[in-house]
Amino acid sequence: MAAMDANSSYDRMKELKEFDQSKMGVKGLSDSGITSIPRFFVHPPETLSDFKNSSSTCTNIPIIDLSGIINSKDNDHRLKIVEQVKEAAKTWGFFQVINHGVPISVIDETIHAIKAFHDQPHEVKAKYYKRENELGGVMYTSNNDLYRAKSAAWHDSLQAWMGPEPLKVADLPEICRNEVVAWDKSATEVAETVMELLCEGLGLEAGKFKELTFLDVRVLVGHCYPYCPQPDLTVGITSHTDPGVITVLLQNHVPGLQVKHGDEWVNVKPVPGGLIINAGDFLQIISNGEYKSVQHRVLANSSKEARISIVIFFNLAKWKGDGYHGPLPELLSLEKPAIYRNFTKQEFFENFYSKGIDTKSLIEKIKIKN
């Protein structure tokens, strides 16, 4: 591969631009029947060899049953669930919730609507295709970080900012409009319940995260991972950590998501009706390292059927004072001093938008070194 990259006749930027300007996305490439993928999707051998190192054991991320939590006053039961959530967030950074109160029909309709958006003809989707305007509105694109990442990944996404300003609903593509609005509402309810449990796990008031506006900035992304003809040469999504507070992820039955646990990559098996929750870098920092933001990635899809996932990234709307955050003072003591320094809103955003998605770069930057 290195030799290929050294070949000066290959103009990577030109190819990236042509792909971007075609607005066809990887779904378009896949549907065109290509049998080999463009070179800018090919990942370096060190990434690809790590992909071969997937776990073959049957482990899955923890599954937490929320029945009895919603609208229940059974305190002993709640304490048990708080313990499970805390343990999962500390050791895995990822867990799957079931019996969360969202009807299966809402889940199915959401997946169906996002799939229907991606299945539309090129001309219809192309109207929404753009790359600028990353902080608001609706956009459809292939690889958010196409020009920033070292290699492209085999997915397209429809992205909508659901908060803090209410989205102009008419801006959403009609084919998934009602479903996206309904999903934001349902997923936010689940996120609120989970944030309460996470707060209690830290010994904080249940409503603390909501009060800190952690439910208010919401970016919904409907990913499509179409069939890839050379799944061994590229990835669905590069290994990364999510930058925000928490992420709620809904996936269809086509597998591909993997989570790093110790030295192993664990397959996240789709559980019907299950919702995946993971902690982001921001939560790791403000919990002073108690909850872990963990690397995850998606394999390029080798199945003819597209993998669909709908994620909502939850972020805070209001920063402290003139725009900073850091480990919550309530969690600090002489025995537990801050392991991270405060960071500014500007540092948070600059870090994210200066490069492709990556792993814990903000966390590394603000770690207090002894």
Q: Which residues contact Ni ion by CB under 5 A?
A: 242
Q: Which two tokens stand for residue 296?
A: 């995850």
Residue 223 near which of Ni ion, ligand OGA, none (CB within 5-8 Å, type-dependent): ligand OGA
Name the strand (E) or helix (H) holding 22. Answer: helix 12-22
Q: Which of 82/237 has CB closer to ligand OGA?
A: 237
Among residues 257, 279, 299, 300, the one that binds ligand OGA under rule CB under 6 A: 257
CB of 249 to Ni ion, least distance (A): 8
> Using CB under 6 A, which of the segments 36-44, 130-138, 249-257, 282-290 binds ligand OGA?
249-257
Chain residues 333-362 in contact with ligand OGA, contact rule CB under 6 A: none
Chain residues 167-186 in contact with ligand OGA, contact rule CB under 6 A: none
Q: Which of 190/199 has CB closer to ligand OGA?
A: 190
Judge residue 230's burial from the number of C-beta atoms within 10 Å of its C-beta, 0-12 exposed, 13-18 middle, 19 or more buried. Answer: middle
Residue 228 near which of ligand OGA, Ni ion, none (CB within 5-8 Å, type-dependent): none
Residue 162 to residue 315: CA distance in whole angstroms: 11
Residue 98 to residue 269: CA distance in whole angstroms: 13
Q: Which of 81/219 has CB closer to ligand OGA?
A: 219
Q: Which of 64/257 has CB closer to ligand OGA?
A: 257
Residue 327 to residue 283: CA distance in whole angstroms: 9
Q: Which of 100/240 has CB closer to ligand OGA?
A: 240
By the rule CB under 6 A, 267 interacts with ligand OGA: no
Residue 298 near which of Ni ion, ligand OGA, none (CB within 5-8 Å, type-dependent): ligand OGA
CB 243 within 8 A of CB 275: no
By the rule CB under 6 A, 221 interacts with ligand OGA: yes
C-alpha separations of 303 from 118, 230, 255, 307, 329 in Å: 16, 11, 9, 8, 48
By the rule CB under 6 A, 237 interacts with ligand OGA: yes
Q: What are the counts of helices (DSSP H) followed by strands (DSSP E) for the chain? A: 12, 14
- Tell me the CA end-to-end span of the chain in Å, nearest whole number: 41
CB of 113 to ligand OGA, least distance (A): 16
CB 61 within 8 A of CB 95: yes
Q: Which of 310/316 has CB closer to ligand OGA?
A: 310
CB 228 within 8 A of CB 347: no
By the rule CB under 6 A, 118 interacts with ligand OGA: no
CB 138 within 8 A of CB 171: yes
Sign of CA dihedral 318, 167, 146, 300: positive
The residue number whose beta carbon is nearest to ligand OGA equals 309
**Which residues lie below 8 Å from residue 312, measured CB to CB, with a gap of 6+?**
162, 183, 184, 187, 188, 191, 218, 219, 220, 221, 247, 248
Q: Which of 252/288 has CB closer to ligand OGA?
A: 252
CB of 238 to ligand OGA, least distance (A): 9
The residue count for binding ligand OGA (CB under 6 A) is 11
CB of 271 to ligand OGA, least distance (A): 14
Strand residue runs (E) in the chain: 63-65, 94-98, 138-142, 156-163, 217-225, 235-240, 246-251, 257-261, 264-267, 275-279, 296-299, 307-315, 324-325, 343-344
Site string for ligand OGA, 286-315 (x = CB under 6 A): ----------x-x----------x-x----
**Which residues of the shown chain bind ligand OGA in the complex (CB under 6 A)?**
221, 223, 237, 242, 249, 251, 257, 296, 298, 309, 311
